[in-house]
Structure 1
Amino acid sequence: MSDPLDIATRHGLPDELRVLARLYPRSDWHGHPNFSDLVAFWLDRHLMFREIITRMQSATQMHMASPQARFGTEIARYTGFFLNQLHEHHGIEDHHYFPHLKTLDFRLVRAFDMLDADHHALDGHIHALAGATNTVLADLRAGKAGETGPLLEAQQEFDRFLDRHLADEEEVIVPVLLKYAPDIG
C-alpha cells in the first residue's frame, strides 16, 4: 500500500489535512480580510514557477519541431533562473516560514512534514532536470543537434511534481495565513 502523503503517488491533499482548506476554500482567498501582501507575493512566486516550467517545455517542443538557433541560450537562462529561484524559495520556506507556521495549528503538523518531504523529493527532480539540460547544452556546444526527448521528459516530470506540490502547499499555507494572520513577513 502506498503512502498517501508521498508526492509520487498522491492526487491531492489528503482529507485529514484539509481541516483549514475546507474552512477557507481557494475561491474565497482573495476576498478574505487577512489576504495580505505576503499571501499575494507568495502565490505570485508559485505562479511564476508554473509559468517558467511551461515556457521551458514550449521552447523545447518548438526546438524539437524545428531547431531554434536561440534554444541553447534560452533554455540555459530559463532553467538556471528556475532552479535557482526554486531553491531559494524552498530554503526560505523550510528555514523561516514553515517552522513558525507549523506551531499555529497542531492539526497540520503532518501537512508540514509532508511539504518538507516534498522539498527533499525535489532534489531528484532538480538533478534530473539539470542533467538533461546540461546534456543538451553540451551537445549544442559541440555542434550536435542535441537529444531533446529526455529533456522534455525531465521537464514534464518536474512540472507534474511541481504542480502537485504547489497546489497542496497552497491549500495548507494560505488557510493558515488567513486564519491566524501571523506576523512573519
Structure 2
Amino acid sequence: MLLDYDLPEYHVSKRKRFPSSVKETLLESTRSEWKDHPRFGGKASFFMSIHRNLLDGAAQLSRGIEQLLDVPASDVSEAVMQMNLLPFAKNLIGFAHHHHEIEDHGYFPQFGLMYPELNRGLSLLDGDHKVLDAALDDTQVALDRLDSKMFTRDQLANLHAGGQALESILNRHIWDEEEIIIPIFLRH
C-alpha cells in the first residue's frame, strides 16, 4: 500500500475530508462542471448513478433498522418481514460487493497503468473497500440474527449503530472515489 491507511487522515471511518496528500495527485477536474462535460453521459454518469443507488440503499437500510428500534421485541420478526428488510439488505450488500469487485479487478488496475500518479488514490480506495467489505459482512451477519429470531435489543441497537456507520463510510468513500475516477471517465 502506498500510504499508511490506518492513519486517521486516510482511514475511511476516520477521515473527515479528502486527504490533501492524495488530492494533489489527482487529474485536474471540477466536480461542479462534470455534468456539463461532453463525455459525462457515458461511464461517468453510469458510475455516479450506481453510487447514488448504493447511497440511497444504505440510507433506506439505516432508516429501516431505526424503525425496528420502536417495535416491541415480540413484534420485531413480523416487522422485519413486512418491511422486506432482509431481502432488500441482501441485495444491497451483494450489489455493493459486486461493484467493488468490478472496480478492484477491472477498473482500478487499468487506471493505475494509465495514470501511475493516481496509484496513491487507488491505494486509498483499496483500503476503503476492505473496510467497507467487512462492514457489509458484519451487517449481513447481524441481519441474519434477526431472521433467526435469536436476537436481543442490544443486538438490534448494535445493528442500528452498524447501519449508521456503514452509511457514513459509504458516503465518505463514494465522494472520494468519484474525485479520483470520474475525471478519468471524462477523459476517455
Deviation, structure 1 residue 53: 1.1
Q: Which moved more, 1:14-23 or 1:70-79?
A: 14-23
Asked whether the equivalents of residues 56 and 79 of structure 1 are also in contact (C-alpha less than 8 Å), the reply is: yes
Asked whether the equivalents of residues 19 and 107 of structure 1 are also in contact (C-alpha less than 8 Å), the reply is: no
SS in structure 2 at match of 1:23:
coil
Deviation, structure 1 residue 70: 4.2
Deviation, structure 1 residue 145: 7.7
Match of 1:6 among 2, 11, 18: 11
SS in structure 1 at match of 2:88:
helix
Q: Which runs of 5+ in 2 are unaligned?
A: 1-5
Q: Which runs of 5+ in 1 are unaligned?
A: none
Between Structure 1 and Structure 2, how many residues are aligned? 177
1:33 aligns with 2:38: yes
| One-letter amino acid of the structure 2 residue matched with residue 177 of structure 1 | F
Query: What TM-score, normalized to structure 1?
Result: 0.85
- Matched residues in 2 for 1:121 and 1:94: separation? 14
1:97 aligns with 2:107: yes
Deviation, structure 1 residue 106: 2.3
Write the mapping of 1:73-152 to structure 2, written as runs, cut at 5 A: 74-139=84-149, 147-152=155-160
In structure 2, the residue matched to 1:166 is: 174
Structure 1 stretches (4+) deviating beyond 6 angstroms? none
| One-letter amino acid of the structure 2 residue matched with residue 57 of structure 1 | S
In structure 2, the residue matched to 1:15 is: 20
Identity over aligned pairs, percent: 23
Q: Deviations over 1:62-118 (max 9, x none)?
A: 222245734236110111001110111011101111111122222211000111111
SS in structure 2 at match of 1:33:
coil
Q: Deviations over 1:124-158 (max 9, x none)?
A: 2022201211112211xx6x786521211111111
The CA RMSD measured in Å over matched residues stands at 2.3
SS in structure 2 at match of 1:103:
helix
- Matched residues in 2 for 1:61 and 1:7: separation? 23
In structure 1, the residue matched to 2:3 is: none
Deviation, structure 1 residue 17: 2.1
SS in structure 1 at match of 2:69:
helix
In structure 1, the residue matched to 2:185 is: 177
| One-letter amino acid of the structure 2 residue matched with residue 138 of structure 1 | S
Q: Which moved more, 1:168-177 or 1:69-78?
A: 69-78
In structure 2, the residue matched to 1:24 is: 29
- Matched residues in 2 for 1:36 and 1:19: separation? 26
Query: What TM-score, normalized to structure 2?
Result: 0.84
Match of 2:81 among 72, 79, 82: 72
